[in-house]
Amino acid sequence: MTLAPEHAMSGLETLRRQIDEGQRAPMGETLDFQLVEIDEGIAVFTASPASKTYNPQGTVHGGYSAALLDSACGCAVHSCLSAEQGYTTIELKVSYHRPITIETGPVRAEAKVISIGKRIAFTEGRLTDMSGRLYASATSTLLILPR
């Protein structure tokens, strides 16, 4: 993924450019999910579960939901940061409400920043199907770092 020098763009500018150019982070390529909406403090990813994401029980592995929610929570924080700041996840708690299968169809991971300070941010996220049915939810704590 090649973007303009990150030191020259805020987090929101970087993520908007990624959407405009149809680019994905390597994790998005691997698990076939895409950042589709970004605004200050809010991030939305979409994905279509596939059999390659199944666990031995014949449902989508919980790590798939966790990766989507972690990405959404992280990008929600990234959208609030200056060009001189970065972040990393300290904690991610995921609650699984119902199993996901291929029949679930496309899913949407939406996260928002609950509070953000100089060093710590708190977010919450929801993973739903396209009709709004809840499959997983998450809370996340992130550390804000200088670049």
What is the predicted pLDDT for the residue at 3?
Answer: 44
134 belongs to a structural domain: yes
Q: What CATH number did the domain enclosing 90 receive?
A: 3.10.129.10
15 belongs to a structural domain: yes
57 belongs to a structural domain: yes
What is the predicted pLDDT for the residue at 5?
Answer: 52
Give me the DSSP letters along 70-122. HHHHHHHHHTT--TTEEEEEEEEEEEE-S---GGG--EEEEEEEEEE-SSEEE
1 belongs to a structural domain: no
91 belongs to a structural domain: yes
Looking at the structure of the chain, the number of domains it has is 1
pLDDT 10s digits, 90-119: 999 999 999 999 999 999 999 999 999 999
20 belongs to a structural domain: yes
Note the pTM of the prediction, 2 decimals. Answer: 0.93
Domain span at residue 31 reads 6-146
